[in-house]
Chains A and B, each alone.
Chain A
């Protein structure tokens, strides 16, 4: 089966600019996650979708981060405005349950 697709692979922006990331999950996976992975740390959950509804966004900095999953398939994560500390790899994952996450290769964001 095809994996989780993410784009772009890399993005460099200046602080206070906006940026958006796209994710296409594995077909049939109802659950989609966005994780933030800062260099040298483990992935940290930002938001979890079940179909097109939000299940958990308790760790999403809602003043600058937003995410949507239209039609229960693709998802976009947006940051506006970006801060230096947002520099990280943004990972999308999908699953049928928490017993089997499949991660994409991620988008590496550098904020300068």
Chain B
């Protein structure tokens, strides 16, 4: 079964610190790796995504690092802010019209 394994389950970071969330996948046919951010009572919202032809993608304070040989990718949140407190999900798909497979999520709390 296609799986995406995410860690840690929860994370507490001080304001201004770096938050790091890791994911590992098994299916080498995956070619699209997005991260979603979910606030309580809301649906997940696309945060940033990467394709396997690049090793890193940065958008503002958010960076995805991708290691194809290790089948791992991670989300780094620089200068973490209390407003970043949310649940983060990694996901993967084979692109086209294939569906996203999600990790179990990481609950991030950024303390003031």
Contact = CB atoms under 8 A, between A and B. Distances in A.
A102 B94 CA distance: 18
Interface residues of B, number: 25
Interface stretch (A14-22, A42-50, A70-78, A80-88): A42-50
Nearest to A42: B102
Among A42, A45, A99, chain B packs the most CB atoms within 10 A around the CB of: A42
A25 to B, nearest CB: 12
Contacts of A97: 95-97
A55 B101 CA distance: 15
B62 interface: no
A7 interface: no
B89 interface: yes
B61 interface: no
Interface residues of A, number: 25
B32 A98 contact: yes
Interface of B: 6, 32, 34, 41-46, 49, 89, 91, 93-105
8 smallest A-B Cβ distances: which pairs? A103-B43, A42-B102, A98-B93, A42-B104, A45-B99, A43-B102, A105-B43, A103-B44
